[in-house]
Every structure is written in C-alpha cells, then in structure tokens.
Amino acid sequence: MPTPPRLSDLGGTRPADAGTLRSRARRFTELLSIARRHGLLPFRRLDFTHDPATSDLRRSQADHLRRALEEAGGGFVKMGQLLSTRDDLLPEEWTEGLAHLQRSVTPADPAAVAELLAAELHAPVAEVFPSFDPTPVAAASIAQVHRARLPDGTAVAVKVQRPGIDDAVRRDVDIALRVVRFLARTSVEARQVGVADVAQQYADDLLRQVDFRTELRNLETLSAAQQRSARPDEVRFPAAHPELSGQRVLVMEFLEGDTLSAVRASRADRDLDEPMRAILRAFLRQVVFDGIYHGDLHPGNVLLLPDGRPALIDFGSVGRLDPTLRETVQELVAAYIQNDTSRIADAVLRMAPVRRAEDEPDFRRDIARFVADELGPGARIGVETVDDAVEVFGRYRLKPPPDFIAAARALAIFEGTLRTLLPSFDLLDESRNLAREQIRDQLRPSVLRDVAARELFGLVSTIRRLPRRVDRISEAIEQNKLSVNIRLLADQRDRRTVSGMIRRILLVLLGSGAGILAIVYLTAPARPTAVLSTGAAGGLLGGAAVVLLVWAAVDAWRARRHE
C-alpha cells in the first residue's frame, strides 16, 4: 500500500517563517491522523468516477470525508460546504455527502470574542454596545452573530469572526491546496474533474469571505441597487454600520423574522408565493441589469419579516458581471422571452465563440434542442440544467465565462430553495413574466433619462477626440506614413488552405528548377577536372526534382481528400 504523503511531498509556492512552518506541520500531522482514522488514505483509493457499480463506495467515502471535515473544523467545513455545490465536477454521491456538513457549531469562548471585539472596535464592548448578548443567535465555522443595541436603542446584529479563524483558515487553505495538488498528480479521476482548479477557485473565495470589509461593500452595493429599482421596498436589506465594522467585525441592522429554514421546519401555513416572487424579481434585476447579485439564496439566507416582506442576509457570496457580459445576458433574456433560439445561439457564440467554424451549425442545433428540452414549457430548472448546458459547451470546446456559469448556478440554488418550499412554483414561467416586468421598469422616464445622459456624455467625449484623430490621420497621409492593419485568414481552415497552397507551389517551383538544372547538366559536355561529373550532378538534381514533384502531387491529393 502506498505511503501517505509527507508535507514536503506536497510542494508549495509561498515562503514561510519557522513558526509558520512548525504550525503548518503540526496541523498537517493532525489532519493526516484524522484522514487515516476515516479511511481516506491513500488518496488514490478515493473514487471520483460515475460508475454505478461503485456508487456505494463513493457514498461511504463521502460520509467519511464529511465527518473528517467536521472533526478538522476551521476552514475545512466551509470548504466542504462550498464544494458541495459543484456536482458538475464531483459525482452525486460526493456532493450529497458534503451537503450534510453541519452549519451550526459550538460558539466560541465569550471572553475571546469580547477581546477580539474590543481590539476591532478600539473600545470595550460595553462602551459601544450598552446591551450585548454573549450567546450568539447563530454560530458557524467562520463567524457567529450576536444581538446587541447601540446607545440610541437601535437593535443590531454583530457578526464577529471566531477568534484565530483568519490565520487558521489561511493555514488550512494552504494545506488543502497542497493536498489537492498531490491528489491531482496521483489520481487520474481527480485530474479529469479538474479538482485542482476548483479547489483554487474556492480557496480564493473563502479567503475573501474572512475579510468582512468585502462583505460590507457587497451589502452596501446591493442595497443601493435595490433603492434605485422600481420597487425599492419590495425586498429588505439590513442597514450597515460601516463606522463600527472592520476586517473581523460587521455590524448591521438586526432584522426580526424567521428564516425560510425555520419556516420549513415549523411547517407553518404561510403564504410564500409573493415573497418568493419578490426575491426572484430582485435576483433577475440584479443579474440582468445591476451586474451584482446575491449568489447564495439558500433557505438560511432569506428572512420573512413580520409584515410578510422577504429580506436577504449573509453577503459573503456575491457575484458580479462586467458590462459586456451583462449586455450578452440581456440579449439572452430578450431572445428567451421571444422564443428566438437563433438569437440565443448568436448571444452564446458572442460570449463563447466556437473554435472551428464548421461546428457552428451543429452547435446551433444543439442549443435549440437544449432550449426546447430544458427551458421549454413545464420544464424545471436546477443544477442539472446548468450541468447540461456546460456539457453542450464542452462538446464543442467552448469556454463560457466563469461569471456567467456562477450566475446560472446561483439561480439553480434559488430554484432548489423554491422546490423545497413551493413545489408548484414554476420558476421558468415566472421568470418570463418577471423579465417582461423588468424590461418595462427599465423604460421608465427616469431610467431612460439616465441612460440618455450616459450615452450623451460618451458621445461628447468621442466628438471631442475626433478632431485630434482626424488631424493625426491627415498628417500620416501627408507624410506617407498611413498604414492599415487588416486581420486576414482569421479562420483556421483558411490558414490551413493557404499554407498548403504555398507549400505545394514552392515544391513545384523547386522541383521544376531542379529538373531544368538536371537537363542542363545532363546535356552539358563532361569536364574531367570537375570534382563531381556533370552526369552525376544531373542525376542527383533529376532525382531531387522527381521527389519534390511527387511530394507536391501527394500533398495535393491528400488536401483534396480532406476537403
């Protein structure tokens, strides 16, 4: 049996001091012991295939991995929770096992929490919060939330990192990435699913989540976008208190209400149609028009307020779309509303062009089939729908932007929330109707005025630069320095055809030249003093001519067969 890896075997890229290395080595030894107790070593025994015959083995390994991650604690629980959503890369048994990772853990030591708060707030807790409940209302692997009151009586939620978790997460992420790289080197299945890239992506995301300043910016941006919308009061966001927030503490308004998880557990008979429709409307606006969206709309992150309105919490996982990608998404939505599969294919190809032009007709047919089967009347969208779309892209080696896939997955996560609470809710049909509403909202006079102002400002800037550019062109023409760059032969088939033609022309020219020289030498009188007789030189040139001309003929025949 292969021996488990040593820390030195796993490699690394960042230098560390002696204390960090000792801490990492101790932690690695602890993790190695945990992995051995749960039968996760050697790594190459882990099954990442989709073979039905080994389904029970994968389910058992996933259960052991879940328990090992919970025992390891620190950042490993969060990493496992993040990976549980990647069933496009991991087999179903693995994602199901990781999905059961505990989200509520034992609260941190109150004294340590108070010390951390005093350091972040630069004052004792009692001075900042006259009322502070040391028992958290929620505790997770990275942070916990306490209820408190400000001097003016405002109820606030104080989200504070678990003491020492920042360094622990960075250490655990470093070790996890080393282990994953080792796993990718030793396991064919792990390389096939791209586990190293996935781990790096989620490691970066996790490191961002331990900096609450990022979450504060996300909250403020989403709140501002909601206030600019046509229905600003439809969905609530907690008001932030940036003056009391920092890297390890986030203070925001405490919203009274029940999470959808609590509503589902209580089996209370509550009307959820309108709140869910409001969240879906807000989500669609965030993705299609705002370019920033809440990426983790699971039941624990949605509150139902006493007045029936929904509210969103936890802004650690927020996605963004750049303006160019947002325009493509808008085109996709418009084409989907109109049932125009040709425009849908156009938008997809603009976002992720095919590598070979001859594949485009087949890709268009597959996209039309996907829209009819997966997004047609009565269809149910889910994570598997996104996976099917990714499979179509992969078939033609298309690379859609990761941000686009992340937005689609966020919608699939929300669909899972809807399915557990409102099985009869038709997400696709509702999305069509709400998208039409959003388009009408974007045609409001105030919005059109803002759009016109932006476009006019851009036009003015272009006009201001125009005389300078015309002057440069005129000067270049006068000095005979004007040059034009044209990108010819952008298509691979055109490049292959032209290069083959040039190759055959050169072969014919060289062969003809060699043949003419051969005739000259063969007909010339012999010279006894020459090192190489004219007959021998003519023979060599004649042979070279035959080889070159036959080569050109065979090359032309192969090109004709290929066409």
3-state SS string for 7-35? HHHCCCCCCCCHHHHHHHHHHHHHHHHHH
Contact present, 189 and 288 (Cβ < 8 Å) = no
Residue 11: predicted pLDDT = 47
Distance, CA of 457 to CA of 449 (rounded, Å): 12
Q: If you average pLDDT over every residue of the chain, what do you get? A: 81
The DSSP 8-state label assigned to residue 291 in this structure reads: S
pLDDT greater than 60 at residue 7: no
**Those residues with Cβ within 8 angstroms of residue 536's Cβ, 6 or more apart along the chain or in another chain:** none
Most confident stretch, 304-313, 422-431, 449-458: 304-313
Residue 13: predicted pLDDT = 44
Contact present, 321 and 329 (Cβ < 8 Å) = yes
Number of alpha carbons in the 13 Å side-chain half-sphere of residue 426: 11
Find the mean pLDDT for residues 125-129. 94
Q: With a threshold of 0.75, does the pTM exceed it?
A: no
| Span of 84-93, 229-238, 370-379 with lowest mean pLDDT | 84-93
For the chain, percent of residues with pLDDT exceeding 90:
22
Across the strands, what pairs with 292?
Answer: 320
E strand or H helix at 522: helix 492-523
3-state secondary structure of 8: helix
Largest distance between two CA atoms of the chain: 117
- 310: closest CA among 271, 279, 264, 267? 279
Residue 494: predicted pLDDT = 62
